Amino acid sequence: MFLKQVKVKGKPYYCIVKSVRIEGKPRHEHVKYVGSKEEVIKKLLKGDKAVMESMKVSQVKDQGEVDLLYRIAEKLELRSTINGHVVKTAGVDVGAQMVVLAINQCLDALALDNVDLWYHHTILEERLGIPFYSLSAENLCKAMDYIYPPIRDQEGEVIDARDNAMPIKKDLVEKLKDLFDIKLDALFYDITSTYFEGNNCIIARLGYSRDKKNGKKQILVGLVVTREYRFPLFYSVFEGSTSDMTTVSDTLKTLQEEFKVEKTLLVMDRGMMRPGNLEELDGSGFDYVCGLKKGEKAVKKVILEAEGLEDEENRVREDMSAVDMVREFAGKRRKLVVYKNHKQAKELKEERDIKLSRAMKELNEYAAKVNTGNYKKVEKVVAKVRKLKKGVSKFIKTDITVKKGRVRLLVKKLDDRVKEAEKLDGKYLLLCTDLGLPKEDVISAYFDKDGIEKAFRSMKQHGLRPVRSWTLNRVKASIFIGYLGQLLLSTLHYMLDKAGLKITPERALGYLKWQKKVVLESEETVVEKTSVPELEAREIIEKLETAKLL
């Protein structure tokens, strides 16, 4: 049996027929009248047995989450903006391919070899009108080369890349200003690492790995985002062994020269700071809030001198108190805010006390054994002592000597160092150049930077980690795609908030994930139907459309 279309007074209707032979000739025998196309769909959804048996599902395509991200990409004019800065005369345009890759980054983050099949099973193929076989891994790689065209040496090796991404990023920031009135008056800057599987990238180096992948080469990625909604402004790529502190100069230069930022509050982590950086930041004209490493003598001195951290009136959060002062620091009057995380301070003290107590007990027992024994190998005792002191070595003094050919060991707990550590537990110093900014606002600005860490996690989860065996230009292009993906998610975050939906972008996409487009076929009829979305998914789309955000 199959569904057949018939026309009644010029209008299409459907009935179920079956093939039979009458007097040796094939004929269609009427089984059941169904009605209009809408009636067909209704009966399918109600589970009408005859209608269901007359058709088969030929395709099921992802629609809900894919279509929402595509509509956001259209709102941002990603495709045309990218195409405005690359010249490609034949084949699928670069902008369309970057949009596909950015949406894939947000949802599945597949290897390039699998993107074409993923695309074929989504609504994107219909939206873009580009056949899936045009998005082969080879074509996608060639499209990436338009974003960062390779520069090769005489042997043909990629040694650098021209940057077509920067003007795209600048245009997108202007688009965000026009669409959403985003402000650049407060920006966050931080840096992360991503490791490599392969050896083809000339800037991959061994360095401090935030991914805990010691022994693997890496690159560093610096990212600047807005304080509100974490819209990404731009990223920078550095050699894997670059110190975080040395990246600040490039970031300031890009903000001023490329994005024409004249005044902003720049918020950075303590890993970015050194005396030279303070001088550069002072010369930039920007206000800034940054953490300072308490290992520095000047920083430790300020923290130890701070008073009032135990007073209830200085509570700024449930488990945090803060005091501020304006004083000379690093050659200039600055606002200094000392804060204490009381929960962390308690945990640090308890952990240290347990480790120190255990270490002293084991060391004293070992010292008694050494001092009454016939130990002659100093290196063996040194190795054992080092092992027992691990984690608390700065609080214990050990003296290993040799008398009359025998090793002797003395152990002493350094109480002064323990007391100083207790005074520093959970305490940190923030520096702010805006002398009038209340300490509560300084604390809020600094801890809001956790949002950039979420942006990094999102980019890594959506394809930035690990980077495969790629050349420099394609490494940079892969980061560009991650940047586009984060731009889509940040825009969705903004839209959800403005529509009064207090859910994360990831949660919203999760609700929409189950909305599919189903294609049913019989011998003569094709019926397409979008599955009914869940209540939450319908509410998301309805509120975004009502607020005219899509």
8-21 confidence digits (pLDDT tens): 888 888 888 888 88
pLDDT tens profile 41-55: 777 666 677 776 776
Cβ partners under 8 Å of residue 99, min gap 6:
70, 73, 78, 79, 82, 128, 484
Which of the pair, 504 or 25, is modelled with greater confidence? 504
pLDDT tens digits for range 469-486: 478 888 899 889 989 999
Residue with the larger pLDDT of the pair 256 and 296: 256
Q: How far apart are CA 407 and CA 353, in angstroms?
A: 29
pLDDT tens-place string over residues 166-225: 999 999 999 999 999 999 999 999 888 777 665 666 776 776 666 566 667 888 888 999
pLDDT at 116 over 70: yes
| Cβ neighbours of 516 (radius 10 Å) | 18
Six token digits for residue 504: 């994360």
Tens-digit pLDDT profile for residues 425-466? 999 999 999 999 999 999 998 988 766 666 666 665 544 555
- When the pLDDT of each residue in the chain is averaged and rounded to a whole number, the result is 87
Number of residues written out for the chain: 550
Q: At a CB cut-off of 8 Å and minimum separation 6, what does 189 contact? A: 222, 223, 224, 248, 251, 266, 267, 268, 272, 452
292 vs 462, residue with greater confidence: 292
Which pLDDT score is estimated for 448? 81
* pLDDT mean over 305-317: 94
- Bridge partners, 191 (sequence order): 222
Query: For 494-547, how does the pLDDT look when each residue is reduced to its tens digit (9 = 90+)?
Result: 999 999 999 999 999 999 988 888 777 776 667 676 766 778 888 999 999 988
* Token pair belonging to 245: 């502190």
Bond preceding residue 466 cis, omega within 30 of 0:
yes
19 DSSP β-pair partners? 28
How many whole angstroms separate alpha carbon 343 and alpha carbon 358? 23
